[in-house]
Amino acid sequence: MTLLTPVDLVDPRELGPVHFIAIGGAGMSGIAASYADLGIPVTGSDQADSANLAMLRRRGVTTYVGHDAAQLGGAETVVVSSAVRETNPELAEARRRGLRVWHRSAALAALMLGRPGVAVGGTHGKTTTSAMIAHVLVAAGTDGGYVVGAPLATGESSRLGAAGSPFVVEADESDGSFLQYPAGIRVVTNVEADHLDNWLTSEAYADGFVRFASGATEVAVVNIDGPGGAALSAALVDTPHLTYGTDPGADVLIGDVSHDATGVRGSIRLDDRIVPLSLGVPGLHNLANATAALVVTTHLGIDADRAADALGGFRGDHRRFDPVGVVGGVRIIDDYAHHPTEIDAVLAAARDTVGPGRVIACFQPHLYSRTRDFAEAFGQALAAADEVVLMDIYGAREEPVPGITSALVGDVTASVLGAGRVHAAHSHRQAAEQVAGLARPGDLVLTIGAGDVTTVGPMVIEALTAAGR
């Protein structure tokens, strides 16, 4: 995969019938649903049936399971994700016919045309922050629209909203597609090296965020807690921007932070006033995410107290410190964290909420390249847990790399915790059984990673139940 180059956009209603390849993904399904809501004829295919395909069928979208060139039908535009390979028969047929082929980011960006746009980027936290902004827009009755990477409490990850109302998107930097969005307001939650398989160097990655934030025509909103965000802010000489964070130099300052089992609280200095924020989700990182949402929504004209009240009702989004269940006094939480800093944050949040119990982390590394680049940092981050179950690498779009295994991470963690507290698992069932065998009443179990580790939590519940816990 290479970095994408932005394309010229047209109104979605000028695209003719649109066919989505890999339509069942969280991002693709939301875009496809919005196109259908515009009255555009939409079809799409995916490798397997899913709840997202069922949702799309209810919206009038024709969906197919499996890929076949004949399924393009009369499509005039084809939308693909970065995961779709050129060998896909539908994409190959679209190329042969000379159809317009857009990356999903262009299809999403076209929905923003003529609307106040908000694009949320960052190495970590962009899904939660964009979801928080969307949550406030809906709660405040703005009829705003959004497409984010995980469902809100409504169960939907997208909403078209009304013409002329704000539109919020999660802006993915992994393939450079965040440069596609025509957003006047741009948020950067943090900048730390990642996706070096595409960007190649940390310097190029950081420069990508400078280009992203520099495109703000209204305001860039930047978290300066950390060297990446501070350097980005310093580079935005000619771009109107606001900084936020716990750093005393922040324009919007986070203070009076406290934690307990129910969430996190703080006082936000916004303009010339103090706005109390009390969240039902844990962790300083979520307080920072909510602060960005507060800055953006007040900039859009929503009263700060009303925005803060709405944020207090935010209960997280899918796979972000997501409760799976409680059995025998053992809490099971699922989280998408797949970068060392994200693991630091989620383990800190777990420690804030677990009380006297232990934290047991079940981690599945995501991508061979990321494991190669950050094995040491992953190992150090996981050492904040009391026990670690380490699964095999989830390769996703990558082929195995000789010598790159989970053991690279496990060796580092074991050097801190001790070998007896790091456990290798080579299947999901084995991971669940190991976790269940370790867990005691009062413990908190975290299943962590961007792959299919999310299936382990329910298996842990089954194992604990079967053991009579």
SS (H, E, C) the chain: CCCCCCCCCCCHHHCCCEEEECCCCHHHHHHHHHHHHCCCCEEEEECCCCHHHHHHHHCCCEEEECCCHHHHCCCCEEEECCCCCCCCHHHHHHHHHCCEEEEHHHHHHHHCCCCCEEEEECCCCHHHHHHHHHHHHHHCCCCCEEECCCCCCCCCCEECCCCCCCEEEECCCCCCHHHHCCCCEEEECCCCCCCHHHHCCHHHHHHHHHHHHHCCCCEEEEECCCHHHHHHHHHCCCCCEEEEECCCCCCEEEEEEEEECCEEEEEEEECCEEEEEEECCCCHHHHHHHHHHHHHHHHCCCCHHHHHHHHHCCCCCCCCCEEEEEECCEEEEEECCCCHHHHHHHHHHHHHHHCCCCEEEEECCECHHHHHHHHHHHHHHHCCCCEEEEECCECCCCCCCCCCCCHHHHHHHHHHHCHHHEEEECCHHHHHHHHHHHCCCCCEEEEECCCHHHHHHHHHHHHHHHCCC
Type of residue found at 63? T
- 276 closest CA partner among 307, 301, 298, 249: 307
Task: Give the β-pairing of 330-335 and 322-327.
Answer: antiparallel
Backbone angles phi, psi at 453, to 5 degrees: -60, -20
Active-site positions? 126-127, 170
Backbone angles phi, psi at 417, to 5 degrees: -85, -30
Residue 384 neighbours by CB under 8 Å, 6+ apart: 343, 344, 347, 348, 351, 359
How many angstroms separate the CA atoms of 288 and 292, rounded? 6
How many angstroms separate the CA atoms of 123 and 348, rounded? 18
How many angstroms separate the CA atoms of 353 and 444, rounded? 9
- 390 closest CA partner among 430, 422, 344, 358: 422
